[in-house]
Amino acid sequence: MWKRMGMLHNTIDARMCIQEYRDGLKTVLDLLAIEDIYDLIAYFQSAYEDGRQLFIIGNGGSAATASHMACDLAKSVLGRVSESQARRFRAIALTDNMPLVTAWGNDASYESVFAEQLRNLANSGDLLVVITGSGNSTNIIQAVRVAHELGLTTVGLLGFEGGIVRDLLDHAIVVPSDNYGYIEDVHMILNHLVTDYFKRVLGSNQRLLEKVAQH
């Protein structure tokens, strides 16, 4: 196999790259404050218990994470029981309606693609989740400002120093790294951590409902 890779084998030590990336990611993970993650979960739980909508946004790789998070909150937290009677998350990724995203981008501006969707869908008390490495994307900043105008709570998964958007949010977790790979990896880990928590909570609630139904 290595012979087929030719020049790559001669110039890059794959084992070293694997070890360095793994060690770097672990270091960044260990720097996250558990209390910050606890507070993030509390915002999600409050929205869930109040029956609020969750809107999730991001660009590029973070757009994929936003879609993944919406999927996990809407479906994966229920486990494999599709007929679960547990209350469900009303999670919507504003990255998913590409005709609408491109319509706003083409006819107005790319900076408005999330903010204008919020004007259509959001109600006071809903939760906006922003996922961004830099924290400086204009469409993210504009969406947060509109969210506050509409009475939404805002939380974010950020990177680097948090960027402009950090001070606009009600709560933020900043991944302390300037490596986009680590930042996006940790954002996905946080998504799965939140999903795992609610799978346990909703699973417990479902078992309780089943016991009540049997009596």
User: Do the beta carbons of residue 121 and residue 148 sit within 8 Å?
Assistant: no
For 163-196, what is each residue's pLDDT tens digit?
999 999 999 999 999 999 999 999 999 999 999 9
pLDDT value at 114 more than 90: yes
For 138-151, what is each residue's pLDDT tens digit?
999 999 999 999 99
Residue spans of the domains in the chain: they are 1-31, 33-214
Q: Which CATH class for the 33-214 domain?
A: alpha beta
pLDDT value at 129 more than 60: yes
Q: CA 135 to CA 100: how far, in whole Å?
A: 23
End-to-end alpha carbon distance in the chain? 63
For 36-59, what is each residue's pLDDT tens digit?
999 999 999 999 999 999 999 999
Q: Give this prediction's pTM.
A: 0.90
**Average of pLDDT values for 3-7?**
55
The whole-number pLDDT of residue 12 equals 73
Q: What is the mean pLDDT of the chain?
A: 91
User: Do the beta carbons of residue 118 and residue 147 sit within 8 Å?
Assistant: yes
The amino acid present at 95, given as its one-letter code, is: T
For 53-110, what is each residue's pLDDT tens digit?
999 999 999 999 999 999 999 998 888 766 667 788 999 999 999 999 999 999 999 9
pLDDT band, residue 209 (cuts 50/70/90): very low
Q: Indicate the helix (H) or strand (E) that contains 154.
A: strand 153-158
